[in-house]
Amino acid sequence: MPNQVLPLSKPTPAPEITVVIPVFNEEDNLGELGERLVRTLTAMGRPYEIIFVDDGSTDRSWQLLTDLNGQYPQYIRALQFHRNFGQHQAIFAGFQAARGRVMVTLDADLQNPPEEIPRLVAKLDEGYDTVGGWRENRQDSIFRRLPSQLVNYVMSRVTGIKLRDYGCMLRAYRREVVDSINRCQESSSFIPALANLFSHRVTEIPVGHAERERGTSKYSLIKLLRLNFDLMTGFSNLPIHLVGFMGVAIALLGFFLGLFLFIRRIFVGPEVEGVFTLFAILFVFVGLNTLGLALIGEYVGRIYREVRGRPRFVIRQTLGPES
Ligand code: UDP
Ligand code: MG
């Protein structure tokens, strides 16, 4: 997919920390972001690399990334997509190129302060597999926050994956978790949810959040809906199960209506021209139809699950010789 790669100029010690950043038309933020990242990570005193993934930007972003790579060739790498594939695809690409033992994801818009990275990594060092950030004092408009709250509530219910803040991409993962993510073959997915699936110990810490000072949000309403639909269909079959329940409920209703009409006919006499009997029969058939639809949906859902090719299990430890 990437049609251009800026490599590191000279072989450096294998990085311990890899920071992956999706970039879509962020020309106003990249300069400051690069500076602050390099400053923060250098202060940590561990070998690191920063991978920017240009998700088909149409502004000067790639030019700026080329400059950053020239300025810090030992730390900064960049990949370029030839068109816009989406934030999560960009992170996938970054993960595949990453060499660190620890991966950190971060937005390019400086809303997640890069200075929080040491805290996330320190948490991983405590033995967690995944450390999520949740935005304390989120600095977005109410119109951006309310849908997010709804999403957080509905998604944790529907997918059974408990994330306090689905939208926060400031997160850190152990190499093993990212390896499992890399083995998935799905084309649309949601990285934090996948990571939770493959993690044994997960924790979440509050992280700072700043207003977007430059550039605008890259998520239109449609794009946001599509992302949440990916999350919903990628991690649960609940929607199709609901259709199934509905089918059964309608069919049962029809059956009991028929039963009621039958008993009524014995004791009271026939109702007007059998209209309601017809309704009862109709309901039974409509219900069965809906149920049939849900069954087909269930099979399609299962095929989808196979197609995604996610690892079916992840072995954490083995005792005795490994074959
Ligand atoms: N992004 C991307 N591809 C897209 C949309 C967004 O790579 O199609 C990047 C964007 O450059 C930023 C991050 O994903 O680094 C989050 O986007 P944004 O800040 O616009 O989202 P919001 O904070 O409004 O949810
Ligand atoms: Mg943002």
The C-alpha atoms of residue 279 and residue 255 are separated, in whole angstroms, by: 10
- Say whether pLDDT at 173 is over 50: yes
Please tell me the distance between residue 133's alpha carbon and the centre of ligand 2 in angstroms: 14
69-87 as b/e: b if 16+ CB within 10 A: beebeebbbbbbbeebbbb
pTM metric for this prediction: 0.85
Q: How many CB atoms lie within 10 A of CB 320?
A: 5
Average pLDDT for the chain: 90
Residue 145 burial by CB count (10 A; 0-12/13-18/19+): exposed, middle or buried?
middle
Tell me the ligand closest to 24's alpha carbon. Answer: 1
- What SS3 class is residue 252? helix
Answer whether 40 contacts ligand 1 (Cβ < 6 A).
no
Q: Supply the DSSP string of 210-230, one letter for each residue.
A: ----SS--S--HHHHHHHHHH
Q: Where are the alpha helices (DSSP H) in 53-141?
A: 61-71, 87-97, 117-125
The phi and psi torsions of 216 (rounded to 5 degrees) equal -120, 165
Residue 260: the pLDDT is: 94
> pLDDT digits over 70-89, tens only?
999 999 999 999 999 999 99
The C-alpha atoms of residue 143 and residue 56 are separated, in whole angstroms, by: 27
Q: How confident is the model at residue 181 (pLDDT cuts 50, 70, 90)?
A: very high
For the chain, the first-to-last Cα distance in angstroms comes to: 35
Q: How confident is the model at residue 269 (pLDDT cuts 50, 70, 90)?
A: confident
- Say whether pLDDT at 178 is over 70: yes
Q: Are 107 and 99 in contact (CB under 8 A)?
A: no
Mean pLDDT of 211-232: 89
Answer whether 217 contacts ligand 1 (Cβ < 6 A).
yes
The dihedral of CA 260, 263, 267, 268: what is its sign? positive
- Say whether pLDDT at 160 is over 90: no
Residue among 216, 206, 188 at smallest CA distance from 108: 216
Strand partners, 132: 171, 204
Mean pLDDT of 152-168: 89
Residue 144: the pLDDT is: 80
- Say whether pLDDT at 9 is over 70: no
Percent of all residues in the chain with a pLDDT value above 70, rounded to a whole number: 96
Residues 6+ apart with CB under 8 A from 93: 1, 2, 53, 79, 81
Tell me the ligand closest to 216's alpha carbon. Answer: 1
Report the nearest-CA residue for atom 1 of ligand 1: 87
- Say whether pLDDT at 192 is over 70: yes
Please say whether the structural domain 17-235+312-319 has been given the CATH code 3.90.550.10. yes
Residues 6+ apart with CB under 8 A from 304: 233
Mean pLDDT of 276-294: 93
Residue among 121, 120, 110, 111 at smallest CA distance from 47: 121
Answer whether 55 contacts ligand 1 (Cβ < 6 A).
yes
Residue 322: the pLDDT is: 66
Please tell me the distance between residue 171's alpha carbon and the centre of ligand 2 in angstroms: 14
Report the nearest-CA residue for atom 21 of ligand 1: 217
Mean pLDDT of 7-33: 87
> pLDDT digits over 56-67, tens only?
999 999 999 999
Q: How confident is the model at residue 4 (pLDDT cuts 50, 70, 90)?
A: low
Residue among 172, 193, 166 at smallest CA distance from 130: 172
Top mutation candidate among 28, 88, 104, 109 for ligand 1, by most atoms within 8 Å of CB:
109
Residue type, 133: G
Q: How confident is the model at residue 220 (pLDDT cuts 50, 70, 90)?
A: confident
Q: Are 144 and 46 in contact (CB under 8 A)?
A: no
- Say whether pLDDT at 293 is over 80: yes
Residue 151: the pLDDT is: 86
Tell me the ligand closest to 22's alpha carbon. Answer: 1
Residue 61: the pLDDT is: 95
Report the nearest-CA residue for atom 8 of ligand 1: 86
Residue 30: the pLDDT is: 96
Residue 244: the pLDDT is: 94
Residue 1: the pLDDT is: 46
Answer whether 111 contacts ligand 1 (Cβ < 6 A).
yes
Please tell me the distance between residue 219's alpha carbon and the centre of ligand 2 in angstroms: 9
Atom of ligand 1 nearest to the CA of 144: 24
Tell me the ligand closest to 217's alpha carbon. Answer: 1
Describe the strand order of the beta sheet including 76-81 as a list of residue ranges: 2-6, 76-81, 48-54, 17-23, 102-105, 171-174, 130-135, 202-207
Q: Which two tokens stand for residue 40?
A: 């923060």
Residue 17 burial by CB count (10 A; 0-12/13-18/19+): exposed, middle or buried?
buried
Residues 6+ apart with CB under 8 A from 258: 277, 280, 281, 284
Please tell me the distance between residue 87's alpha carbon and the centre of ligand 1 in angstroms: 6
Report the nearest-CA residue for atom 22 of ligand 1: 217
> pLDDT digits over 80-113, tens only?
999 999 999 999 999 999 999 999 999 999 999 9
Q: How distant, in Å, are the alpha carbons of 33, 176, 208, 239, 241 from that of 115? A: 10, 24, 9, 40, 44
Answer whether 108 contacts ligand 1 (Cβ < 6 A).
yes
Q: How confident is the model at residue 11 (pLDDT cuts 50, 70, 90)?
A: low
- What SS3 class is residue 74? coil
